[in-house]
Each structure stands twice: as structure tokens, then as C-alpha cells.
Amino acid sequence: MTGRRPLVVGNWKMNGTSGSLSELSAIAIGLKCDGGQRIDALICLPATLLSRASEKLKGTGLLLGGEDCHTEDSGAYTGDISAAMLKDAGADYVITGHSERRIGHCETDEMVRAKANAAWRIGLTVIICVGETLQQREDGRTLDVISRQCLHSIQDNVDTTHLVIAYEPIWAIGTGKVPAMDDIAEVHTCLRKSLYSRFGMQGDKVRLLYGGSVKPASAITLLKFACVDGVLVGGASLKATDFLAICDVYREL
């Protein structure tokens, strides 16, 4: 055991309206049956649902997060959401640098770092996503890509208790493909080493997640790797039964 508390994160992406709030309640109820204390369970929601979700889930222990935030605290940025707004709406966490933002919104490592800094300024915990394309993997550049993304997306002098890193190979997201477990372990080992070299023993506090087509069955396999502290789940987090089945895997640790 690593001493790091397992973290199971759902990422609803651009899914969910008020009718979906009942799924969140079902997740919270399912977690409570067992006290819900052995893991941290978190759902990152569209910003439109956060306030209502946080009202509904008060006292349940199910954590809430945003999916992205702006680099600035406030200002003339039509359509954007600041970290302060997420916090005000009930979020404790935010994802930055998801590949769907890096690719779909042309976000660079520098932007991801600025967003993470904005989130830390307001007291959120940040989940920074990194991951290679299929081409990069086939070219044998995975470790270089991941190391570079990490180095440039995370500033020095971070309170590492408020940092989570999710390794999400881009080609595994939403495709049903999961890398070989040894390949995941190789990336996680490389990430941990680079955290130690940058942050010393404080690097030990960062939780390293895997994400990309995680389902209950793959969660069981991932659990065997001590270097994986939890999972970031997209599609399977939209249904309470699937998400709870993944949480159960980690609760039985």
C-alpha cells in the first residue's frame, strides 16, 4: 500500500441536464452503504449542473469538480468559467488539460499550467491530464511526450496534496481500447520518478490516475498495480451502476 487514498473520478463531459441529477443521488446513496470512507469518489460535471448537484449532495461525501476553468480569475471572457465560479458553485476539484481541450480548443501546456495556477489560487485541487497520441506511441515517444507535458503543465512550488495527474492515452479515450498494463505501469513509474526529482518527497503525495475506456473489468486489473492510485472514468461514469461497480473495486482494497 502506498498511503495514498484511492481516487475514483467521473468525467461527465458535455452530458447531463437536470434529469441526470438522479444518477448522482444514486451514486451518493450507493457509496454511503459502505460508509464510503475508503476511497475518494468525485464527479466532474458540466458547470450548469454544479450548484444544483452540490445542494442535492450535501453531506453525502461524494465530491464535485469542474471540467475546465479559465486562466484568469474574472474579466471580459464571454462564455468562459473561472475557478472562483466553480468553487462558488460547489466544486472542490477541476480537470485541466484534458485531451479534448488540448486538441479541440488548441490548449498548450502553458495554458494548462495557467489554468491550474488559477485553480490553486482559489483553493481547488487540480487534476492535470497528460497522454500520447497513437502515432506518438507507435513512434516510441510516449515517455518523452508525457514527461514534457508534465514538466510544462505544472509549475514549480506546488502544494502536491492539491495535485492529481491522470495519464490518459488519447487513443484509449472512448474507444474501448486499454493499453497493456505493463505500458500503463511504465508511464506511471516514469511520472512518479519525475515528481520525486522535481518535488522531492512531496512528490509522493500526488495521486496518479489512469483514464481511457475504464470499465469495472479493467478497474479490477488496474487495481493490481500499486503505482495506479485510481481512475478517471468518462462514459462509464454516466450510469450510477457502472460507476459504483468501479468504486466497489477500489473500496475492496
Please report where in the chains the cell 481516487 appears, as a residue: 7
Measure CA 224 to chain center.
Answer: 20
- Under rule CB under 6 A, residue 67 binds ligand PGA: no
Residue 203 touching ligand PGA (CB under 6 A) = no
Residue from 43, 145, 208, 232 binding ligand PGA (CB under 6 A): 232
Q: Is 96 in the site for ligand PGA (CB under 6 A)?
A: no
Tally Cβ neighbours within 10 Å of residue 213. Answer: 20
The helix (H) or strand (E) run that includes residue 93 is strand 93-96
Verify whether residue 105 is a known catalytic residue: no
Q: Active site residue: 67, 70, 98, 188, which one?
A: 98
Q: Cell numbers at residue 177, please? A: 481500447
> Looking at 67, 168, 229, 248, which residue binds ligand PGA (CB under 6 A)?
168
**Is 188 an annotated catalytic residue?**
no
Name the minimum Å distance from CB 196 to ligand PGA.
Answer: 26
CA triple 114-116-120, angle to 5 deg: 115
Q: How far is the CB of 212 from ligand PGA (least distance, A)?
A: 5
Contact predicate 157/198, CB 8 Å: no
Cell matching residue 46? 458540466
Catalytic residue among 70, 107, 168, 188: 168
Check binding of 127 to ligand PGA (CB under 6 A): no
Q: How far apart are CA 127 and CA 162, in angstroms?
A: 9
List active site positions.
Answer: 98, 168
Residues lying near ligand PGA in the complex (CB under 6 A) are found at 11, 168, 173-174, 211-214, 232-236
